[in-house]
Amino acid sequence: GAVVSQHPSWVICKSGTSVKIECRSLDFQATTMFWYRQFPKQSLMLMATSNEGSKATYEQGVEKDKFLINHASLTLSTLTVTSAHPEDSSFYICSAGQGAGHEQFFGPGTRLTVL
Amino acid sequence: KNQVEQSPQSLIILEGKNCTLQCNYTVSPFSNLRWYKQDTGRGPVSLTIMTFSENTKSNGRYTATLDADTKQSSLHITASQLSDSASYICVVSITDKLIFGTGTRLQVFP
């Protein structure tokens, strides 16, 4: 299967700071990238869908001004958690695909801890 | 409401034994059904993908079944290994989204 990487794999930051997480498709061009959040012992929750070159579509209840998503190229999407708070501490996972109905390949995830 | 329910929530088995995980869904329109393995602190890895017309699909020691009439799927693991300890997630795909089940946490002990 295709390879998707995330960086960093884990990050610890102080409350009020911003954190950027990168998601890269290493061996294919991803027209669509998805960002998920997963709390302990819970399933993945879709936060937003981004298509290369256009604005991301956010799920209900996800603040677009807090979770900034950029998908500037076919191999890179970034999620920036702005003014992070302890309740933003979670496991953030991206996936990449080639459009609706196509396979999604998941990244290894990024563990964010906000102190 | 689109939902995917899995059972059991958790399961403990001895190494070498077989086990079966269940998935029931109420999702429409149905595109395909996937089983993923997620190790702790890692992203999900695809095991099988089945479309509406497929009844069974195997991937090594993993065999998934699908009954589209009853909207049920199962994942059978044969001759379990310690490395099978993980969460197994049933995911149903609709047109442009994935609906995730809550997963079954499997622990394999020696």
What are the tokens at A83? Answer: 């003014």
**pLDDT score for A1:** 64
- Nearest CB to A108: which of B31, B43, B96? B43
Contact A110, A42 (CB under 8 A): no
What's the CA angle centered on A24, arms A22 and A25, to 5 degrees? 165
Cβ-Cβ contacts under 8 Å, B89 against chain A: 43-44
* Contact check, Cβ <8 Å, A100/B96: yes
Helix or strand or coil: residue A87?
A: helix
Contact B103, B38 (CB under 8 A): yes
**pLDDT score for A30:** 87
pLDDT digits (tens, 9 = 90+) for B82-91: 999 999 999 9
The single residue listed with the structure tokens 């996936």 is A95
Contacts A–B by Cβ distance under 8 A: 43
Q: What is the CA radius of gyration of chain A?
A: 13
- Asked if the C-beta of A17 comes within 8 angstroms of chain B's C-beta atoms, the answer is no
Task: Name the DSSP class of A26.
Answer: S
Contact B78, B106 (CB under 8 A): no
Q: In the predicted model, is pLDDT for residue A106 greater than 90?
A: yes
Q: What value does the mean pLDDT take over residues A45-60?
A: 90
Q: How confident is the model at residue A100 (pLDDT cuts 50, 70, 90)?
A: low
pLDDT digits (tens, 9 = 90+) for B39-66: 998 999 999 999 988 999 999 999 999 9
